[in-house]
Structure 1
Amino acid sequence: MKTHDNLSTLDNSPRPYDRLPSFTTAELPKPIVEEAVGDTLNPEDVDDFATVTVMPYASMTSGDVVWIYFGQGGGGGEEIDAFLISANLVGRPVQMYVPKEKVSFFDMTTVTVYYAVHRGGALWARSEDLVLNVMTPTRWPAPYVEEADGDDLPEDAYGTRGVRTVVPQHADMQAGDVIKLFWEGGGNHYEDRIPILMPMDFRFSVRKETVDLWIGQTVQIFYTITRGATLIHSDVLNLRVAITETLLPALVMDRVVDGKLNLAEVADFVDFRVLPYERMRADDVVFVDLGPGAGNGGATVTILVTQNSVGAPLEDAFARFEVTPFVGQTVAVKYRVESATGHRESELLMVEVIEAAATLNPPNIPAVSNGELDPRQVLDGAQVIVPFVSLMQQGDRIVLTWDCTRDAGDHTDTGIVGGGTGDIRFTVPYDVISKGIDGIVTATYELVRSAVVIGAGSAVAFLIRRPELPAVVLVEADGGSLDPDDVPAQGASIEIASTALFALGDVVTLHWQGTTEYETSHTITAVDVGNSLLMKVPKALVVESNGTVVTVRYTIRRELTGDIETSPVSVYEVYGESGIGGLIVLGARNGDLDLCMSGSGRYLRAVSATTRDDLVAEWRYEGDVASESGVSFLDTQPGRLLHVRTDDASLSVLPLHLVGSGLDQSSPNGAAAFAARLSTGRPYAWGHVDYGGYIPPSLTELDIEEIHHTYGAFAALRSNGNVVIWGDERLGGAISPLPTNVAHLTGGHTSFAGIKRDGKLLAWGQPLHGGTLTPEASAVSDAKSVFANAWGYCAMRTNGHLLSWGPKDYGGEIPPAFKAYPHMSVRGNSSAFCALRTTGVVKAWGNETNGGKLSTEVENASNIAEIAASTYGAFAVITSERKILAWGRGDYGGQVPERIKQYNDIVEIVGIDYAFCARRAGGEIVCWGLPDYGGWLSPEYASEKFVQVTGTAVAFAALRANGTVLTWGVPARGGDSSAVQSKLVDIRAVYANTQAFAAIPASGGVVTWGLAAGGGMPTSDQMAVLNDYLRYDVPGTAVSASSPQGRALAAFKKSRMVASAAQ
């Protein structure tokens, strides 16, 4: 059953396959099938769809649900759809469109068509049955064109006089019949007619200017015979008019890799495939030629196309001995098609035939670990071992190639095989290795005997990387906060772990950047080697920096090499003792790139714990020195730890707590799930297992930074750039190998896309929904961000220019006129994109109905400040005057009510499937869109103030400053929170998937409501985990465990525990 736009979220609707009871009442008349004539429906009279019309019936009422049934129970031919009668549809016909292939399913049988009306959740009335005979009439032979060669009409064949189209005499042709001739296709139409006085061949003259309408196209030519009330159709002649014959595509040889065929890998036969070609017909004869073909020094394979093989690849093979004569040469392979329509040939496949050397074991580089070589571990050079194999003989040469992506790091060397069976060893100098730092090395070798390469080692690839130095640990600090009163008179102790690999004579310089900059150096002695190093910062400098943020780092000048290495920066807040008591932060931390994130607010708010009044606070992401002051904070980086501080209190809001997946439409089995980032940094999930609600245990032990989602899968990004995924493999939950070196991710409906750290794009999932990059996208190396709609993606480059991929009609192709301009931001919805230029102008493309075409008002606006949100079929923006503009489907929020258009204090807008909700500067909220799906809020709440709004697909939840929550929209999918209202107190944040809400209380854990199986009711075991490990914030200035500073702190604490246990 397909889901109609008007009804994609209806709950408690009847199952379409339940046969409705028969009614004897004639209250509802039969439906009408527009293409039927009398009681007969000819599939040939149906273009793409048959139209079933339900005329307005007596007592038609807003809120009725009309179910239309075409061939119910007919298996592959049935079509069933439901339509919600809104106020605007009362008194209007209701139409359902049945695909032609479903009509044809009933050919030569009957089909029953009827409809039923449900009112108040129950069956109200049922129409009479319309029973139609479905039959395709017998056709007369197709016409032909005298000047054509079969179905091919060259331009020079009809000159200036045009052509003659012949309707051949038919045995049943009768005087009084009327012939009507048609030329159609490509948006053009021509017809002519003549009465039959006596049976004969009838030649219709068609002028040149008419024929020219179809130059370069295929025209469909046919005729009808009218005999009284009877209409007889002919078969169709598909005539190719002045189409220049092109070469058929080359055949495919799977063993040909990069243009080379290695016969050493071939046992008996070299397989090939001729792909289905245009105008492929039974009785075609295909000749596949290797080189000049049989009898001329090559070979030929002959294939006869049978009826069953039409439309399928033709597979066969050349014998190995037929290919052997071409070793060392490049040979052309092609095929020829001989058919009733003429002779055609394919493009050439050029194949270099080789017999490659033997593949030997790869070289061994002992210092390489986990795909990396640390130059600090090979100061005397890196050893390379070529393992001895029986193929080697004394005197053979081994030529080592050390090929680095940094040209200065290339190296070659030659060794001689001795008289025994010992391995051959090489040493690559440190100088060469140091020049290749951050480059990728491919190490291989050749076995050479008498100037002939008889074998080659498999390649080994690895990265030369100097591992990051450990960050410093300020011993007296508590996490990321240092109280000057905790620093002894001797000064603050700075510890550098032994993993810095100190060597005798290295010079370590400590850099303190506070109110005053301070440096101190230390030369490594024999006592320091192999141990951690403790350095001091005078207490006076710490006290002087009270109330500020300081950074601490160090450099090492290596004695042996002269290299200078720099550590990561550790950041500390220097404040006197404070607590969390007077400060509360409210609001969910939501990203802005994933498709469904339009339904989430992004502003956080600081309030007093005692009065719940606004507080001015300092907001700072971990690792940053600068902070931002204000009551509210636009959270643009939810994957980072956020430090919040007032004069007497501080806390750290943990990164992105929850994200949600799920189908947009209502699903009784709860087709949705939640994924969490626990306070430990580990991922967790619950909800429907098919939509990401089950996470493999092996993944729950990994630290993650961010989580993104599609309809039914999750992808988590780790701090090292690796990605792990789980969920439905068809919806983006599978890719091999797993992506690495990833900087950014975003999720669409059924695929993921992202940006690698080198600026290149990647994608996986459903190919038709953006899961495969176009050549243009694959070539990009300066991508900055990626945005999703339901069908594809739009990427912004560092210069602000855009490119997109996915189906053209749904936003996958940017109009050329848009590409030359820089842009600031992009947003997608179900099937369109819009982009904001630096000039304050918005442009849109994709499905015009759903927002791909701007309204006149928006088209003329040049004061757009922000693309705020989208629904399924509309977009909303905020102007520089903080007013709202929208476009797209009016009922889905594309038409802003006049009362809302007057507001000039809009802060943010949240969009769900069919409605928008805007929050004003004072905290008041206003809604518009489909009323039952979140677009209407009771007037009693009009003056209430809220901190943040979030939404499922069809319901909203608004968080008040006092920690309580208001909900509205479809009750079953989150709009009714009455069952958990007593638990919705002291809430810090509310998150959502498409089917349910999840709120995090001050004490941690989660409160859920909505569809139970879609995350609205975790199991007791799941609740135990969430209650223990899901937290909104932690007191003080926390440090992320995955950051360099966090890793150093964890190692420091572990070493102290080990030392304490040893005492």
Structure 2
Amino acid sequence: MSICVDVHLLSGKRAAVEVETDASVESLRRRAQSALVVPSRGRLLSSSGELLDGAQTVTEAKLTSGDVLTLHVNQVQLKAVRNGHSAAFAALLGDGSVVTWGDAYFGGDSSAVRDQLRDVQQIQASSHAFAAILGDGSAVTWGYARFGGDSSAVQDQLRDVQQIQASFGAFAAVLGDGSMVTWGGAISGGDSSAVQDQLRDVQQIQASDQAFAAILGDGSVVTWGLADFGDDSSAVQEQLRDVQQIQASSGAFAAILGDGSVVTWGDADDGGDSSAAQEQLRDVQQIQASRRAFAAILIDGSVVTWGGANHGGDSSVVRDQLRDVQQIQASYAAFAAIRSDGSVVTWGDACCGGHSSVVQDQLQDVQQVQASRRAFAAILGDGGVVSWGDAGHGGDSSAAQEQLHDVQQVQASSYAFAAILGDGSVVTWGSANYGGDSRRVQDQLRDVQQIQASHGAFAAILGDGSVVTWGDADHGGDSRAVQEQLK
């Protein structure tokens, strides 16, 4: 016996789909996807908007002829664990399922929670684990247990989760009532018990390597985690009023207040002490951070820096050039500022792109800048690319210059760059072992929509929702074992 249901896309396109009553809802979804000519997976919703369980039969789902269903198709999303040892990727598919690959220890193997990874809405990553928010507001975690991959101790509390933030080795989840749940490495902020009573009406969370800072509804801030990484804000607590946003370096925080002033705390060498620059920190619009320093753009387009001098905290050499700055990008230990006239000013460690004198004449009409660990790449108005910094990290793109035309966007691993061209193809440069050489998959890199990077590999999402990877296998550069799942 069979029934016929009407399946719609959000665009209004529709198709009548016939299916046997003893067939699975997953089978119905595949037929609907084929009938509607949808290249990637989608979620099948009932007429009341509820997600249909693909494991149920049509009869068990209580579907009948004439029912109107919706196939909700989302673009594939990628998230990557990034650390210096190895890494992994997690792909959130259009139907809400998740596929993982890379180092099993750091989240590349999600088989233990595969049955729970259904109707996933978003994924967050620490340096060693993943956390997924499901449609019902619960959360599922996997990866290195000590660094957030095991949330069993707080699982009963993970209800109505709205957002998740990650430090190096822990997670913090904001619930619908404004309270917070934390787990993972205690030294990374996974234990918030000391401040739990203060964590009410949480609006935003920011994380340094080993600490968290939460902005409450009244504009105050609560911090916790490891000493010397910004966990202790007691010295500035009276100043932390009307906080609008927070930025973090490796071991310090910088908060922009409603009046445009800035309050900092944490390791002084990482930018936790801004006393030398306090008189200048007025009318601050935005703050960018390198590993151990901060750079603030003021309303008049000037820039104020502080923190580790060798990491960009000292911009005195280029101070007179830092005018009409529109945006700033940071590598590990240097900054690059784009001015309103399209020129670029750099400072910080020369080995990390802090000196751009060799390419300064080419840096005209710059639209955006991307950074690897020790190099920068700028997209020009004519679609060309200029790169500088350490050659082993993508600072030398001379070998690829003939191909770098009509560039739309650039993504970076720690050691290489990948550029998407207007025709959907991809050009790569930098360390060959860490994503700078894409020749193995070049023929597959067509109609690329977006690229995500781990520490040493890249993953590209194509127009049909499939995924192509390259780079170091231990960092997620080889997805051949899960390619069938990524279709």
Global fold match (TM > 0.5): yes
CA 1:933–1:500: 2 relative to 1, 3 Å: closer
Secondary structure of the corresponding residue to residue 351 of structure 2: helix
Matches of 2:443 and 2:146, distance apart in 1: 31
Matches of 1:471 and 1:769, distance apart in 2: 46
Query: Structure 1 residue 699: deviation in Å?
Result: 8.3
Query: Structure 1 residue 928: deviation in Å?
Result: 0.6
The answer as to 2:285 corresponding to 1:865 is yes
Larger radius of gyration: 1
Correspondence for 1:834 = 254
Query: Structure 1 residue 844: deviation in Å?
Result: 0.7
Whether the 8 Å CA contact 2:236–2:265 is kept in 1: the answer is no
Correspondence for 1:735 = 151
Secondary structure of the corresponding residue to residue 810 of structure 1: coil
Matches of 1:725 and 1:715, distance apart in 2: 4
The answer as to 2:370 corresponding to 1:950 is yes
Matches of 2:189 and 2:294, distance apart in 1: 21
Matches of 1:1005 and 1:677, distance apart in 2: 23
- Structure 2 counterpart of 1:734, one-letter code: D
Whether the 8 Å CA contact 1:760–1:783 is kept in 2: the answer is yes
- Structure 2 counterpart of 1:969, one-letter code: G
Whether the 8 Å CA contact 2:207–2:248 is kept in 1: the answer is yes
Whether the 8 Å CA contact 2:297–2:304 is kept in 1: the answer is yes
Matches of 1:979 and 1:741, distance apart in 2: 51
Correspondence for 2:199 = 780
Query: Structure 1 residue 837: deviation in Å?
Result: 0.8
Correspondence for 1:968 = 388
Correspondence for 2:129 = 713
- The equivalent position to 1:913 in structure 2, one of 318, 321, 332, is 332
Query: Structure 1 residue 982: deviation in Å?
Result: 5.2
CA 1:533–1:791: 2 relative to 1, 3 Å: closer
Query: Structure 1 residue 887: deviation in Å?
Result: 0.5
Correspondence for 1:818 = 237
- The equivalent position to 2:83 in structure 1, one of 648, 651, 662, is 662
- The equivalent position to 1:850 in structure 2, one of 260, 270, 273, is 270
CA 1:986–1:1029: 2 relative to 1, 3 Å: closer
Correspondence for 1:889 = 308
Query: Structure 1 residue 885: deviation in Å?
Result: 0.3
Secondary structure of the corresponding residue to residue 411 of structure 2: strand
- The equivalent position to 2:346 in structure 1, one of 922, 927, 941, is 927
Matches of 2:387 and 2:406, distance apart in 1: 16
- Structure 2 counterpart of 1:992, one-letter code: A
- Structure 1 counterpart of 2:281, one-letter code: A
- Structure 1 counterpart of 2:304, one-letter code: L
Whether the 8 Å CA contact 1:835–1:844 is kept in 2: the answer is yes
Whether the 8 Å CA contact 2:408–2:420 is kept in 1: the answer is yes
Correspondence for 2:222 = 803
CA offsets 1:33-72 (integer angstroms, 9 cap, x no match):
xxxxxxxxxxxxxxxxxxxxxxxxxxxxxxxxxxxxxxxx
CA offsets 1:675-723 (integer angstroms, 9 cap, x no match):
5556777655666565555665948985654443333334344454344
Query: Structure 1 residue 913: deviation in Å?
Result: 1.6
Correspondence for 2:38 = none
CA 1:980–1:473: 2 relative to 1, 3 Å: closer
CA offsets 1:984-1025 (integer angstroms, 9 cap, x no match):
4443322233344343444557554444555556795x8888
The answer as to 2:180 corresponding to 1:764 is no
Secondary structure of the corresponding residue to residue 282 of structure 2: coil
CA 1:969–1:658: 2 relative to 1, 3 Å: farther
- Structure 2 counterpart of 1:710, one-letter code: S
- Structure 2 counterpart of 1:809, one-letter code: D
Matches of 1:695 and 1:1009, distance apart in 2: 31
Query: Structure 1 residue 936: deviation in Å?
Result: 1.3
Whether the 8 Å CA contact 1:699–1:724 is kept in 2: the answer is no
Query: Structure 1 residue 760: deviation in Å?
Result: 1.6
Query: Structure 1 residue 959: deviation in Å?
Result: 2.3
- Structure 1 counterpart of 2:189, one-letter code: G
Alignment of 1:325-724 (within 5 A): 475=12, 498-499=47-48, 531=66, 659=80, 661-663=82-84, 671-672=86-87, 691-692=106-107, 698=114, 704-724=120-140
The answer as to 2:387 corresponding to 1:938 is no
CA offsets 1:532-553 (integer angstroms, 9 cap, x no match):
589xxxxxxxxxxxxxxxxxxx
Query: Structure 1 residue 796: deviation in Å?
Result: 0.5
Matches of 1:693 and 1:1011, distance apart in 2: 23
Whether the 8 Å CA contact 2:80–2:87 is kept in 1: the answer is no
The answer as to 2:411 corresponding to 1:991 is yes
Matches of 2:116 and 2:353, distance apart in 1: 36
TM-score, structure 2 normalization: 0.68
Whether the 8 Å CA contact 2:448–2:462 is kept in 1: the answer is no
- Structure 1 counterpart of 2:354, one-letter code: G
Matches of 2:427 and 2:88, distance apart in 1: 15
Correspondence for 2:379 = 959
Correspondence for 2:37 = none
Query: Structure 1 residue 727: deviation in Å?
Result: 3.9
TM-score, structure 1 normalization: 0.34
- Structure 2 counterpart of 1:758, one-letter code: D
Query: Structure 1 residue 794: deviation in Å?
Result: 0.3
CA offsets 1:968-991 (integer angstroms, 9 cap, x no match):
222223333455555544433222
Correspondence for 1:374 = none
Query: Structure 1 residue 850: deviation in Å?
Result: 1.7
Correspondence for 1:507 = none
Query: Structure 1 residue 826: deviation in Å?
Result: 0.6
CA offsets 1:517-538 (integer angstroms, 9 cap, x no match):
xxxxxxxxxxxx985589xxxx
Query: Structure 1 residue 786: deviation in Å?
Result: 0.5
CA offsets 1:106-162 (integer angstroms, 9 cap, x no match):
xxxxxxxxxxxxxxxxxxxxxxxxxxxxxxxxxxxxxxxxxxxxxxxxxxxxxxxxx
Query: Structure 1 residue 876: deviation in Å?
Result: 0.8
Unaligned runs of 5+ in 1: 1-469, 479-495, 502-528, 535-567, 569-621, 623-639, 642-653, 664-669, 1036-1063
Could you say what the CA RMSD is over the residues aligned between the two structures, in angstroms?
Answer: 4.3
Whether the 8 Å CA contact 1:883–1:904 is kept in 2: the answer is yes
CA offsets 1:561-619 (integer angstroms, 9 cap, x no match):
xxxxxxx9xxxxxxxxxxxxxxxxxxxxxxxxxxxxxxxxxxxxxxxxxxxxxxxxxxx
% identical aligned pairs: 29
Matches of 1:719 and 1:964, distance apart in 2: 42
Matches of 1:918 and 1:700, distance apart in 2: 44
Whether the 8 Å CA contact 1:777–1:805 is kept in 2: the answer is no
- The equivalent position to 1:744 in structure 2, one of 133, 158, 163, is 163
